[in-house]
Amino acid sequence: MEFGFTAEQEAWRREIQDFLKDNPPEKFPTQSGEDSWGHGAFSKEFVRLLGQKGWIPLTWPKKYGGAERPNMDLMILFEELAWARVPWAAGAICWSMANTILDMGSEELKQEFLPGIGKGETILWLAMSEPDAGSDLLALRTTAVEQDDCFLVNGQKVWSSLAHISDYGFLFCRTNVDPKAPGWASISILMLDKKLPGVTVQPMVSMLGDHFHTEVFLDNVRVPKRHLLGKKNEAVVHLNKTLEFDRFWARFPKPRFCQRITHDLVQYARETRRDGVLLSQDPSVRTKLVESAIEIEACRQVLWSIGWKIDNKMPLTYEASAAKVLADDMGLRFFDRSMQILGPYAYMGEADKWGTLRKNIRRWFLWTAGDSLAGGTSEIARNTMATTGLKLPRK
């Protein structure tokens, strides 16, 4: 068993770090959120720069503009982007949707979409959940009925993250509208162009006051048939794979992100006095920092071991769900502990040296609660582990 990185991998990590030093994330304008990778901030300019570097299609076949690099290199890239807190929320989701296009898209669809996604010019969002269909996705009601050379789409999506700044939705819809047809044989994925007549995107403002999620209304939208992804009525066959990848890749950077915050908090504790005592000398603060460091490292090791399986083309069963539960539960405890380390000052808004750290920890403390719901809830992930991992009976 080999736990280290090769010289080439270390050199790749340094290359990314140097690039991020030359292009500090905070110099890029954001269209959503503020600081912080994966927790709301998104900058089209920054994503385009990643595209220009050729880092978005890093692992794709050369035929589609990729570099055919191993997944381990992609994981190192994700870790360093997380450490630098780049404004690339939903990037991992966009990445996994591109993988689904590579996996099940027609050649025509690949040629149409992959170059733009690879250059960071086409942004995708996941249009899956509906007001009455979340955990039970097969209950979705949005319909797509064939008419001439189009699908006529009607329905409503909810929670569509970043649809307002994206270009195409990965639209899950019912193409078999026979009410007696089983859900698993009725659902398809269409590439939904947000500019089509009949598409209305409305903001959902979060408890942070951010505009990150949206509701999407679809009123007689004519989606060209060539924008069907995969086979009609067979999306469910691919759904688990799409979600498994989404769950894993969206969680993979989290330990590294938390490691960076721990690094900042250690510095904060070294420099900050409470009741005349340096926080770094306060046993309760030291204990909390150490507990965080242990949990983060344990989570990071498990995620890397799953990544290693992906890199070695080993099939995933319950692992992505396990990664989601582990990382999201760790995140909840981590931000709770971080708020306790800040103590009453967590609530203070003054603009001293540590003002930004305090503000961000407050934001992430609230935001991280949503992580355990996004991409399917942690309860559903536990159900998947029970049946797929432990082979417990379904009922």
Ligand X SMILES: Cc1cc2nc3c(=O)[nH]c(=O)nc-3n(C[C@H](O)[C@H](O)[C@H](O)COP(=O)(O)OP(=O)(O)OC[C@H]3O[C@@H](n4cnc5c(N)ncnc54)[C@H](O)[C@@H]3O)c2cc1C
Element (H, E) at 202: strand 199-205
**Nearest distance from C-beta of residue 24 to ligand X, angstroms:** 27
Q: Residue numbers of the site for ligand X (CB under 6 A)?
A: 126-129, 134-135, 159-161, 370, 373-374, 376-377, 379-380, 383
31 vs 383 by CB, closer to ligand X: 383
Q: Using an 8 Å Cβ cutoff, are 213 and 161 in contact?
A: yes
Structure tokens at 266: 């250690």
Which of these, 104, 196, 113, lies nearest to 152 by C-alpha position?
196
66 vs 253 by CB, closer to ligand X: 253
Q: Quick check: helix, strand or coil at residue 147?
A: strand
173 vs 341 by CB, closer to ligand X: 173
**Nearest distance from C-beta of residue 309 to ligand X, angstroms:** 25
**Nearest distance from C-beta of residue 212 to ligand X, angstroms:** 7
Residue 68 dihedral angles phi and psi, to the nearest 5°: 55, 35
Q: Which residues pair with 202 in a beta bridge?
A: 215
- Longest CA–CA separation in the chain, Å: 76
169 vs 255 by CB, closer to ligand X: 169
Query: What pairing do the DSSP bridges indicate for beta strands 228-229 and 124-127?
Result: unpaired
CA 27, 69, 79, 110: dihedral to nearest 10 degrees? Answer: 70
330 vs 374 by CB, closer to ligand X: 374
**Nearest distance from C-beta of residue 370 to ligand X, angstroms:** 3
Q: Which residue is nearest to ligand X (CB)?
A: 134
Cβ count within 10 A of residue 211? 17
12 vs 318 by CB, closer to ligand X: 318
**Nearest distance from C-beta of residue 35 to ligand X, angstroms:** 18
Helices 235-251, 319-342: crossing angle, 10 deg rounding: 30
**Nearest distance from C-beta of residue 39 to ligand X, angstroms:** 10
**Nearest distance from C-beta of residue 178 to ligand X, angstroms:** 24
90 vs 104 by CB, closer to ligand X: 90
- For the range 353-361, what are the long-range contacts, defined as Cβ-Cβ under 8 Å and sequence gap of 24 or more? 354/268, 354/272, 356/35, 357/261, 357/264, 357/265, 357/268, 360/34, 360/35, 360/36, 360/261, 361/261, 361/335
